[in-house]
Amino acid sequence: MPRVRASGTAFLPGLLLIVVIIIVGGPAFATSDLVAPALHGIVTDALGGALGQVEILVLGDAAAEAPLAVARSDDHGRFIVDGLAPGIYRVAAVKEGYLAFLGRFNTMFRPSLDMVLRPAPPESSGAAVPPKDASWILRLPERSLLRETDASVLLRREPDAAARVAGSALYDNLEGRVDHLVDLSVPLPGSPRENTGAGGAETRMSMASAIGRIASVRVRGERQSFDRVATKNGEEESASRDASSFFVEASCATGRDANLAMKASYAQGDLDVIGGASSPDGGFRHARRSWGYDATWSTQLDEASRLAVKVGYLDTLASLPEGRFVGAAFAGADGSRRPFLSRAMAAGGSYESLAAMRHQVRVDVEATLQDLPLPRSLAAGDGIAVMPASPAGWNVRVRAEDQWVLSAPLALVYGLGYVRGSDARQTSVVEPRVGGVWTDGAWRARLVVLYDLSTAGATPPWSDVPEPPGIRRAPAFGYDAEVDVRLPWGLGLKGARSFEPVAFDAAGAVFERIDPGFTPLYAADGSVSAERNSLTFSREAGGVTTYLKLISGSADGTLAQVFPFEVPLQLLADRHLRYDGARVGVRVAASGTDVSAEFRRVEDTAAIDPGAERTAQEFVEFQLAQDLLRGEPRGMSWRFLFAARTAPQRQAADADPPAAAGLRTLAALSRRVSAGLSLTF
């Protein structure tokens, strides 16, 4: 019998006691002195490049007041403003040749603010054109809570294309970058055959344009074509991959305090393996295409409240050969092709309000529906059986949270979450949470503890076999911890650690997968328990930035590992997955040098047999970018690009040599050494 979680009844008295202490002691905390926090952030251009020597002005509520503080960004676009009393401020970022940025922030809740500056339209004389209506200088800036982000969010997303700017009513401005790399056909260790030939190229394009003060557009595209031919003992096997993708983002103002942001993408790819022992008929072909979109509308309800609504849709069609499953690859027997269509829809919304001087309330709602008519392997007695397509799955998540500043820099975080899904093993979950945030000028820390009140543990309704005892069960407690410390001598330390007993993150995955560049570590069709850890060291001195990032984590549930190379079909099964990785890099501003190396290892174990040998995949990549010719600001510049990557090596013993040979051939498409040029204009 599966182990069922203990009831959360014993936890409720303790939670109630904490709430009572907070309510009784809150007024006493509120009367204590407040500590002055610091504001920090990054200033970038429309393409995400850092902007140095940007003047940051912190202003009070009165339009005629002189700036309360002034700072300048460094060569990496970073700035710090110390000595601000807790409260709400206006902020402006000004740089010659760019339109001014205006924003608003509350030092009690958010210590960081990202800013995006867009080039001003040039006149015939080359000078920037002042706005016809300069009244924006005298009035309060347009309100926006969504532009204010924590440092952790800032590091994992691109600059906000919807940031407000001031400028002339109508103009077009274009910035872009084009990268082109050619495969050098250099043999690397671990080639699948004695003699290997390689060829191909990839081209990447990115462009951004601002249209007056009301709209902005960003376009990104990629095209790849690679071939591999391997021979051993006179036997030849070849693999080729052609893929292209297109991604567009647009944002426009729909009112003085309202904005509409949209994203759309299309991607297609063809994979061919010919000859060799990868499949009984001497080869197979796999084609895939996907398209999707999402739209977010946000509006300011009043001076302290903001509402955002988001919807998304993703459609994927894969044309696979008929036949049998061989390991991780799908081998064709007669060459016929069978289409598989998967669809996912998601909707969500958020409401954020500064309910009082010391309270920030946020409510998030997410819902998703997935139709994945793909075979999945379910536990069936003492073996694994391929079952028919599972029904469409859905889940809903609601979370309410209040951040209450007891005494700056200390804030209390408490809230309640509810999750319900169609997975019978995790039908519904109630998650009370409580924690705190400490923010001052030197460091920021956050710790939130949650408890899973779910006691569900039933077998899926489409299975007639009892769930085996090998299936892992997550503990009831979860947590979310972050720390961001600025140390002397330009050193910085950032760390995060979290564990979610039940993670219905399908809605977030739909929105992320709209971007063709998103590469998750695993795919799931229901609830999983997930642990994530990250640690980043950085040092800035003399225009040189050195960084080291370490990541690790694990996931348990019905999932499939996502390979860094294309595999025709992966079965969803009850698995335990663990991953570790590291990335180290150096950036030299004076010479325009950027060097980085990354290592990632993923281990996969079937949950039905915890003692089974693990399958390990390792991936290594090296990248170099060097400035060759630098133009004037907003001019043309050239960079040299070099990249080398090794494909994952299957380390576990494989009982099916043909399947292993097929995987090695597919992996060879990702093993390459490339060089090329990058043009920025």
The domains located in the chain, with CATH, are: 11-30+170-454+467-680 (2.40.170.20), 39-152 (2.60.40.1120)
Q: The sheet that has 88-94: what strands, in order across it?
A: 69-72, 55-59, 88-94, 101-106
pLDDT tens figures, 202-213: 899 988 887 776
Q: What is the pLDDT of residue 309?
A: 94
Q: What confidence category does residue 400 fall into, taking pLDDT thresholds of 50, 70 and 90?
A: very high
Q: What confidence category does residue 347 fall into, taking pLDDT thresholds of 50, 70 and 90?
A: very high
Q: What confidence category does residue 147 fall into, taking pLDDT thresholds of 50, 70 and 90?
A: very low
Residue 535: pLDDT over 80: yes
In order of 110, 154, 368, 485, the CA distances from 151 in angstroms are 9, 5, 28, 11
DSSP characters for 233-244? TTEEEEEEEEEE
Distance, CA of 571 to CA of 416 (rounded, Å): 35
pLDDT tens figures, 433-450: 999 988 776 788 899 998
Q: What confidence category does residue 214 fall into, taking pLDDT thresholds of 50, 70 and 90?
A: confident
Q: What is the pLDDT of residue 570?
A: 60
Q: What is the pLDDT of residue 363?
A: 93
Best mean pLDDT range from 460-469, 512-521, 556-565, 636-645: 636-645
Q: What is the pLDDT of residue 292?
A: 92
Note whether 25 and 17 are within 8 A (CB).
Answer: no
Best mean pLDDT range from 368-382, 453-467, 525-539: 525-539
Q: What confidence category does residue 405 fall into, taking pLDDT thresholds of 50, 70 and 90?
A: confident
Q: What confidence category does residue 550 fall into, taking pLDDT thresholds of 50, 70 and 90?
A: very high
Dump strand ranges (E) for 233-358: 235-255, 258-275, 283-302, 305-326, 329-356
Residue 295: pLDDT over 90: yes
Question: Average pLDDT of the chain?
Answer: 70
Residue 229: pLDDT over 80: no
List the one residue out of 206, 287, 279 whose CA is nearest residue 240: 287
In order of 353, 546, 575, 654, the CA distances from 645 in angstroms are 47, 21, 28, 24
Best mean pLDDT range from 174-188, 418-432, 626-640: 174-188
Residue 31, judged by CB atoms within 10 A of its CB (0-12, 13-18, 19+), counts as exposed
pLDDT higher at 172 or 9 = 172
Residue 170: pLDDT over 70: no
Q: What is the pLDDT of residue 583?
A: 92
Count of residues in the chain: 681
Instruction: Taking residues 33-47, report their average pLDDT.
Output: 64
pLDDT tens figures, 349-387: 999 887 667 788 899 998 888 776 544 433 222 223 333
**CA-based torsion, 486, 487, 490, 491: positive or negative:** negative
Instruction: Taking residues 380-400, report their average pLDDT.
Output: 56
Residue 116: pLDDT over 70: yes
Residue 326: pLDDT over 80: no
Distance, CA of 597 to CA of 620 (rounded, Å): 8
> Within 13 A of 438's CA, how many CA atoms are on the CB side?
9
Q: What confidence category does residue 154 fall into, taking pLDDT thresholds of 50, 70 and 90?
A: very low
Residue 660: pLDDT over 60: no
Q: What is the pLDDT of residue 652?
A: 46
Q: What is the pLDDT of residue 191?
A: 52
pLDDT tens figures, 71-102: 888 777 778 787 677 667 778 888 887 877 77
Distance, CA of 20 to CA of 404 (rounded, Å): 15
pLDDT tens figures, 489-503: 878 889 999 888 766
Q: Which range, of 80-89, 126-135, 180-189, 536-545, averages the lowest pLDDT?
A: 126-135
Q: What confidence category does residue 617 fall into, taking pLDDT thresholds of 50, 70 and 90?
A: confident
Tokens found for residue 8: 């959360």
Q: What is the pLDDT of residue 595?
A: 92
Residue 547: pLDDT over 80: yes
Q: What is the dihedral of CA 254, 255, 259, 262, to 10 degrees?
A: 0
pLDDT higher at 378 or 634 = 634
Instruction: Taking residues 35-63, report their average pLDDT.
Output: 72
Q: Which range, of 88-97, 160-169, 466-475, 484-493, averages the lowest pLDDT?
A: 160-169
Residue 346: pLDDT over 50: yes
User: What one-character DSSP code corresponds to residue 468?
Assistant: P
pLDDT tens figures, 271-293: 777 765 545 555 667 778 889 99
In order of 120, 135, 317, 359, the CA distances from 141 in angstroms are 19, 10, 46, 22
Q: What confidence category does residue 248 fall into, taking pLDDT thresholds of 50, 70 and 90?
A: very high
List the one residue out of 217, 184, 220 whose CA is nearest residue 199: 184
